Amino acid sequence: MERNIDLNEISDGRLYGSNDMVKADCGSCEGCSACCRGMGSSVVLDPFDVYRLTTGLQTTFQSLLSRALELNAVDGIILPNLKMAEEEEVCPFLNEKGRCSIHPLRPGFCRLFPLGRLYEDGSFRYFLQVKECKKENRSKVKVRKWIDTPDIKQYEEFVCKWHYFLKDLSNAFGNGRDGKALSLAKTVSLYILNQFYITPYDSGEDFYSQFYRRFREGQEFAASILEKAK
Ligand code: SF4
Ligand code: SF4
């Protein structure tokens, strides 16, 4: 999801790489669960998140959708996000002690917070959102340690590929208002949901091999649909 933001207003004005130290470490959150509440539809899941959740919890995407996720349009493309529940808008994975019940499987967005990503020229850097985390006096931590995801290089490559894949499709169809554009946008959304989220991932095979097989097919699909849009 892309937002029009003034980095000087929301960050410390710096951009970080995965080996940089950043003041993001809020310790163990110490009873605070502010960023697990009231997040609306902003915790959007990528295919790796769904791989982690479905294989780790031994469940299906549809089952997650029936209790913990919902679908919403992001820049015109329908994607899953964590469904904040009840009046208080609480993440369904937050337990009664105010802790994340799926901590090792938590989505990439949760791992990143309070960092954000700034995408530019086919790549991205991290920035620190200074007003988002409620904890004062955060300590410094290496970005890659904070994100807590194995093989950060491969992960960042995936994040980048996924972002620009969606961006290209969204630019082509996401803002379409006429009948043809709306119908193509629907076709694209259904394809993405099926190809990258609903079709089960094999827990016995690593995520990236499975993702890139699907991604190659996805690129062919995107090329054919872009052709149809002309
Ligand atoms: S707002 Fe900061 S301290 Fe509170 S739960 Fe989120 S990351 Fe932890
Ligand atoms: S998945 Fe865990 S860390 Fe993420 S919002 Fe829910 S409770 Fe919080």
Per-10-residue mean pLDDT, the chain, length 230: 72 94 91 93 97 98 97 94 91 95 97 95 94 89 97 98 94 74 88 98 97 98 83
Q: Is the C-beta atom of 85 inside 6 A of ligand 2?
A: no
Best mutation site among 94, 95, 133 for ligand 2 pocket (most ligand atoms within 8 Å of CB): 94
Give the separation between CA 141 and CA 24, rounded to whole angstroms: 7
What is the pLDDT, as a whole number, of residue 44? 98
Q: 93 C-alpha vs ligand 2 centroid, how far in Å?
A: 6
Q: 100 C-alpha vs ligand 2 centroid, how far in Å?
A: 5
What is the pLDDT, as a whole number, of residue 137? 85
What is the pLDDT, as a whole number, of residue 85? 87
Ligand 1 atom nearest 132 alpha carbon: 1
Q: Note whether 192 and 27 are within 8 A (CB).
A: no
What is the pLDDT, as a whole number, of residue 7? 82
What is the pLDDT, as a whole number, of residue 225? 85
Q: 24 C-alpha vs ligand 1 centroid, how far in Å?
A: 10
Tokens 């809020």 belong to residue = 26
Q: What is the DSSP secondary-structure string of the chain?
A: ------HHHHB-S--B-TTSEEEEE-TT-TT--GGGBS-TT--B--HHHHHHHHHHTT--HHHHHHHTEEEEEETTEEEEEE--BTTTTB-TTB-TTSSBTTGGG--HHHHHTTEEEEEETTEEEEEEBTTT---SSPEEEEHHHHHT-SSHHHHHHHHHHHHHHHHHHIIIIIT--SHHHHHHHHHHHHHHIIIIIISPPPTTS-HHHHHHHHHHHHHHHHHHHHHHH-
Give the separation between CA 182 and CA 190, rounded to whole angstroms: 12
Q: Is the C-beta atom of 36 inside 6 A of ligand 2?
A: yes
Short-list 192, 195, 194, 196, CA closest to 169? 192
Ligand 2 atom nearest 91 alpha carbon: 6
Ligand nearest to the CA of 40: 2
Give the separation between CA 207 and CA 192, rounded to whole angstroms: 17
Closest Cα to atom 1 of ligand 2: 106
What is the pLDDT, as a whole number, of residue 216? 98
What is the pLDDT, as a whole number, of residue 173? 74
Q: Is the C-beta atom of 100 inside 6 A of ligand 2?
A: yes
Q: 179 C-alpha vs ligand 1 centroid, how far in Å?
A: 44
